[in-house]
Structure 1
Amino acid sequence: MTASENPVELFGLRLAHLGVNTSTPEEAAATADAFCALLGIPRGEEPFPVSSFSGSLVEVMNNGGRGARGHIGLHVDDIDAAQAWYEERGVEFNEASRTLCPDGSGRTYLIYFKEEIAGFAIHLTIAD
């Protein structure tokens, strides 16, 4: 039996959010509010002080953010297995970007791929 080569099937990979870069907390809040108005959604929870969320669809970074054009967040069910799978295929990760879960479990919450695609940084994150 051949192992799947589809990370959507293997890890439940799906779009988590689109990341938009801004320079200040005020600009990020205004941008998030504009997306909320456009999409008809409420502001999302803001678990990190560097961003504002429009629901869970758009993360607006207030510190310039990663990626020349922003970032794309991808949810996976098992971040460690997904990272190992990508690495087996030669994809590199930016270990300096590894962020641990805020619950103190020591599990990885987020990690960026090393290379951007079309100016977008891309990260894996665990599904809530």
Structure 2
Amino acid sequence: MNDLFLKIRDIGLVPVIKIDNPDHAVPLGRALVAGGLPVAEVTFRTDAAEEAIRRMKAKLPELLVGAGTVINPALAQKAVQAGASFIVSPGFNPATVDWCLERNIPVLPGVNNPSLIEQGLSRGLEVFKFFPAENSGGAPMIQALSAPFGSIQFVPTGGIDANNLAEYAKLDAVLAIGGSWMVKADLIQNEQWDTITALCREARLKLQGFSFAHLGINQDTPEEAKKTANVFAALGFALKEGNSSIFAGTPFEIMKSPFRGTKGHIAISCYNVERALAYLAPYGFKGVEETAKREKGKLKVIYLDKEIGGFAVHLVKA
């Protein structure tokens, strides 16, 4: 997978933008960056799209600017000449895809069935736009398609908003999610940049799906662990003993010997561990690679490199 798609995966959301006034391009781009979503798919549905891409690219080097609704090679050429770093199309147009591949331009063609995916695979593609997402079966359809095509990734777009975001964010086959609810046309038209920034921040946090999984309590010996576990049992928590710890229900894990963390550890569940690490990086956290556990190349568990209140923290995929 190329570096651009890895950056998009780490961001997790691709704002799909319809812009009518090129003067709005730069302040809109700044609002996206401030909101933690430094990526924009500017759709070629208005006459302002080309100039908007040109201005964003010139003034905001930190913003990944792509072009959407690119339905033929001529539009792809216009978009690239304006500065678009990637091309997105609503369907699978072989001429457009081939034009991009011949020039090493990342392209996300739209697919919603196995035949279109196979056309892409025959050209070496591994990332596709899934469109229109909700009308094409939504998250269950992506799960169904990922069974025979396990190596590919999707960027579902169409009908997704804050209410159903989680359904897609949980899926291993979803690279990122496209949407416009944080950049609605009226917000752009009315120059509500602070509102857009706030919506972007809210969306990116919701995308992570952070929630409490369990608390790990360090004990010095198996005997001490058993005594502590029995207290939880008296409170009605069912005990389940393993080699290194005793679980009391799902909220508490009593360690039979000191483990990571001065006092113990806190497990935080999330929808995508790689994406969560990228989200936490600006807060000064990194993953400890030696603690990583993966399945089919995807991170499932990893500890962070800093404690919180004396507790080690590990992320676990929900």
For the superposition of Structure 1 and Structure 2, which TM-score range results when normalised by the shorter chain? 0.7 to 0.9
If the length of structure 1 is used for normalisation, what is the TM-score?
A: 0.79
The residue aligned with 2:224 is 27
Q: How many Å apart are 1:45 and its aligned residue?
A: 6.9
Relative to structure 1, is the Cα distance of residues 27 and 107 closer, same or farther in structure 2, using a 3 angstrom cutoff? Answer: farther
Summarize deviations over 1:52-75 as a string: whole Å, max 9, x none.
Answer: 100001011112011111111101
The percentage of aligned residue pairs carrying the same residue is: 38
What SS does structure 1 have at the residue aligned with 2:277?
helix
- The counterpart of 1:118, out of the listed 282, 285, 309, is 309
- Alignment partner of 1:14 is 2:211: yes
Once residues 61 and 42 of structure 1 are traced to their aligned partners in structure 2, the CA distance between those partners, rounded to angstroms, is 16
Q: Read off the aligned partner of 1:24 and give its amino acid letter.
A: T
1:110–1:123 contact (8 Å) kept in structure 2: yes
Question: What is the aligned counterpart of 1:100 among 294, 305, 309?
Answer: 294
Pairwise CA distance, 1:106:
4.3
Alignment of 1:76 onto 2:76? no
What residue number does 1:67 align with?
Answer: 261
For residue 42 of structure 1, what is the aligned residue in structure 2?
238
Considering fraction of residues, name the structure with more strand.
1
Deviation at 1:7, TM superposition (A): 6.5
Q: Residue deviations 1:15-50, cap 9 Å, x none?
A: 001110012333323322211222x1212474xx22
Where 1:10 maps in the other structure, the secondary structure is helix
Partner-residue secondary structure (3-state), 2:281: helix
1:54 counterpart residue number: 248
Label 1:100 to 1:23 Cα distance change in 2 as closer, same or farther (>3 A). Answer: farther
Tell me the TM-score normalised to structure 2 length: 0.35
Secondary structure in 2 matching 1:63: coil
User: Any stretches of 5+ residues in structure 2 without a counterpart?
Assistant: 1-182, 184-196
**2: CA distance, partners of 1:45 / 1:81:** 32
Q: 1:91 to 1:28 in 2, by over 3 A?
A: same
CA 1:99–1:26: 2 relative to 1, 3 Å? farther
RMSD: 2.3
Contact persistence 1:44–1:56 (CA under 8 A): no
> For 1:75 and 1:42, how far apart are their aligned partners in 2?
21
What is the distance in 2 between the residues matched to 1:30 and 1:22? Answer: 10
Larger RCO: 1 or 2 (CA < 8 Å, sep 6+): 1
- Taking structure 1 as reference, are residues 63 and 12 closer, same or farther at Cα in structure 2, changes over 3 Å only? same
1:85 aligns with 2:282: no
- Given that 1:4 and 1:10 are in contact with CA atoms closer than 8 Å, whether structure 2 keeps it comes out as no
**Secondary structure in 2 aligned to 1:4?**
helix
Q: What is the total number of aligned residue pairs between the two structures?
A: 121
Secondary structure in 1 aligned to 2:308? coil
More displaced 10-residue stretch of structure 1: 106-115 or 24-33: 24-33
Unpaired runs of 5+ in structure 1? Answer: none
Aligned residue identity for 1:122:
V
